[in-house]
Amino acid sequence: MMVPSFTLFERMYRFLSSRRKLLFSATLLVVALGVFASSKLKIQEDIVAMLPDDSSSVAQDFRLLQLAPFTRKLVITLKVGNGGDPGGLTAAADLLAQGLRAEGVGNVMTGPTNLSGALFGWLGASLPSLATEEDLVRLAAGSSPVEVRSRLRGNYEQLLLPEGWALKGSIQSDPLSFSSVALEKMRFLNMIPNMRLVQNHFVAADGKSALLVVDSVVSMTDSGGSRDLLDRINRAVAACVPAGMTATVVSGHRYTLVNADTIKRDLYVVLTLSVFAVLAIYLVFLRSLSAIFVFLVPSSILVIATGAIALWDANVFAVTLGFGGVLLGMVDEYAMLIYFSCRQGGKEPAVITGEVARPVIFGAVATLISFGVMLLSSLPGQRQLAVYSMTGIVAALLISLIVLPHLIKPMPAGKLPPNDRGGVRRLPRRAVIAVWLAVLALCSWQSTRIRFNGDLRAVSMVTPELRLAEEDLVKTWGDMRGKALLFAEGTDLEGALARNDLLFARISGRIPAGELVSLAPLMPSSALQRANRERWVSFWQNGRAARLEDDLAKEGEAYGFSKDAFAPFLKTLGTPPPEATLEGLRTAGMGELVDSLIIRSPGMVRVLTMVPDTPEVVAALTEEIKTLPGIRLVSQSRFGDSVGHAIIHDFTRYLALTSALVLALLVVVFRSPSRVMLALVPVVTGLVCMLGIMGMFGIEFNIFNIAATILIIGLCVDYGIFMVCRLTEGSDHTTNRAVLVSGLTTIAGLGALALARHPSMYSIGITVLLGIGTGIPAALLVIPALCSKERP
């Protein structure tokens, strides 16, 4: 039976056979250009590659999570050691803050900025605009004759103290301490659960820790900037923290740096081991000087693909380059089939090239389809990886079919026996099929146990030191970073505040003040403030203000207060001051809190409310906000589940689309249902065994396993195409050896990834290692056992 031939490559071989110097020079030029372009790339070592960047709800939730107050800040805990003196804690915090500012790390806050009597004055003046009906009931009780007498006596005793002269103004404007009603609203701005203010410093409840918050301009995703920032912080800590105290930094910058360092180490290990492992396999199986040219194919492809991706986007994700080890062992399957076929000889090299081109091209197209589907991913890292791999596959295909045949000399006649099976022994047909079916049944059962982990921390490097620092932060200060977020959205500030008022009215009765963080009690919308002032004026009418004025005059006379001593206070009863404003709150020393809870963006203002991120609270609020337009809930704990559901959706979509396209390709190639099914044997085996073994050993499925799964389809279908062409179209047994060796080099590249410490690289490596490691035996043993038309 004649083997179908692609005459284009046959004619191309003959055309270039007399122009080899030009061909080799052009190839070297392309490689040199790849080296030059690669030198210009910038490695991006952050988690952005793993985050969705589309308009999906998951992507939007993640972007909103980044708006949480402490997400972008560095938090430093200054702690007194055992036996240390807590008395010097605030002074040490000031010294460290001074050192940090000297190092230029950014804005450093040890406590509320400029918090002083101005805040109490603002609270008292703003009370008419903030007072609710419940507050007025309390004021009625606090303005009774008995209460007036008690308050004025207390004021008189305070004025007799040495510092009493400083209290004169506040007593005149608020003799009955009405501002305490407004002061209680400050409970809703306590973002740090276990914090108390000591000398205007953030101090832990046990008095042994002080908190410093650093707001830096350095982005969390900037690894170089993060390294410099943390170096400056470490210098300040070493110079300023006294003996007996320790300082611990917790921030996203530390995570970025740990991930960057881990990825750099993994890149070096993966690429180095891949190169040496592939070279060792070549030396064992090829045993020819011309084999060096086969080795140069994937090496050149690595350079060309890296250069091409650098030209496409100078910022290359490190995880993409980490995939180079996989690409190194993946693209040589085309070169391997060309090599063994040309070494076998028996025909003109041009004819051999034309015959081998068919399975090589269709195999490459199948792999390109698999990676092409990844271009639909919402993860930029997966899309870039797809472009990188597809570029390498196309370059490998062209070099293998156009350049490599001119570099390989046929093996001397009689050196390879005609019955050589490529090093693969023929096993009993029934035994092979029985074992294969048993393995599929076991893995199908175990695959039901696999778990999907959508937590982004599952694909991010977290060292024990970082984990302990996070745990100590929660233990000392409470879970100030683990809150569910509610965003009241509006096109302007007034609209956002109005929706925030409605939200607060709905949830304030369900969540204790100490666990609910909201700006609504201290900064309601203008409309609500007007309603509050109207209620205030109405409350003091009908003689209530006059009676209070008489009580103050009567009781004040007994303690020597003049008749007009409390005129400023009495004036606010009938004519309340203007509404409370954000500028006034900032001037009173609450600017940091205000800016962290009001987030402005083009065309959008969001007011943030924070609640406990517990299943009960999140479930109740999810139902509650369905009737509140413009309110969006983002739960950090639920976000992992959302990503998990998105993973399942993407996995199903990618798998279905890839399977449909690959199946269509096989139908076009073979036009026979039986041959199509045979070609799919390695694919089905690889996928089922990969999922089954992961389920069996409790290996979780994450966002990077999706890329690995698609890769299994593309690679295993190549082996299926090669073997079916060999068995049904009269190709020789060199295909066995080509599939075996290329499979081993792929496993070598993937095996190196499985040694990576970074979870994203490890996920790709271990998953594809399982799939390819089971797909290759299926191609070499199961397909021949199932095929009844194998030709010797």
Number of domains in the chain: 3
Residue 246 shares a structural domain with residue 261? no
Which structural domain range is residue 93 located in? 74-112+200-250
Residue 677 shares a structural domain with residue 771? yes
Residue 406 shares a structural domain with residue 392? yes
What's this model's pTM, rounded to 2 decimal places? 0.72
Does any domain span residue 474?
no
Domain end call among 575, 594, 612: 612
pLDDT tens digits, residue range 609-661?
988 888 888 888 888 888 899 999 888 777 766 766 766 677 678 778 888 88
Residue 97 shares a structural domain with residue 126? no
Does any domain span residue 565?
yes
pLDDT tens digits, residue range 390-401?
888 899 899 989
Q: Name the one residue in this structure whose structure tokens are 């070598």.
A: 748
DSSP string, 552-598: HHHHHHHTT--TTTTHHHHHHHHSPPPPP-HHHHIIIIIHHHHHHHE
β partners of residue 109: 213
Backbone angles phi, psi at 89, to 5 degrees: -65, -50
For the domain that residue 707 is a member of, what is the CATH number? Answer: 1.20.1640.10
For the chain, what percentages of helix, strand and coil (3-state, to nearest 5) are there? 65, 10, 25
Gyration radius from the chain CA atoms: 36
Does any domain span residue 634?
no
Query: Using 50, 70 and 90 to split pLDDT, how confident is the model at 791?
Result: very low
Residue 78 shares a structural domain with residue 163? no
Does any domain span residue 632?
no
Q: What is the DSSP letter of 220?
A: T
Class of residue 512 by CB neighbours under 10 A (exposed 0-12, middle 13-18, buried 19+): exposed
- For residue 515, the tally of other CB atoms under 10 A from its CB is 16
- Cα(710)–Cα(213) distance, rounded to whole angstroms? 44
Q: What percent of the chain has pLDDT over 70?
A: 88
185-189, 475-479, 654-658, 704-708: the lowest-pLDDT one:
704-708
Residue 348 shares a structural domain with residue 277? yes
Residue 233 shares a structural domain with residue 300? no
Residue 311 shares a structural domain with residue 421? yes
| Calculated CA dihedral for residues 684, 685, 689, 690, nearest 10 degrees | -60
Does any domain span residue 726?
yes
- Cα(429)–Cα(441) distance, rounded to whole angstroms? 18
Query: Using 50, 70 and 90 to split pLDDT, how confident is the model at 677?
Result: very high
Does any domain span residue 541?
yes
Residue 561 shares a structural domain with residue 661? no
- Cα(733)–Cα(662) distance, rounded to whole angstroms? 25
Task: Give yes or no for a contact between 745 and 752, defined as CB atoms under 8 angstroms apart.
Answer: no
For the domain that residue 98 is a member of, what is the CATH number? Answer: 3.30.70.1320
Residue 86 shares a structural domain with residue 235? yes
Residue 85 shares a structural domain with residue 227? yes
> 414 CB contacts (<8 Å, ≥6 apart)?
none
Cα distance between the two ends of the chain: 12
Q: What percent of the chain has pLDDT over 90?
A: 21
pLDDT tens digits, residue range 188-233?
888 888 888 888 889 998 889 999 999 888 877 777 888 999 999 9
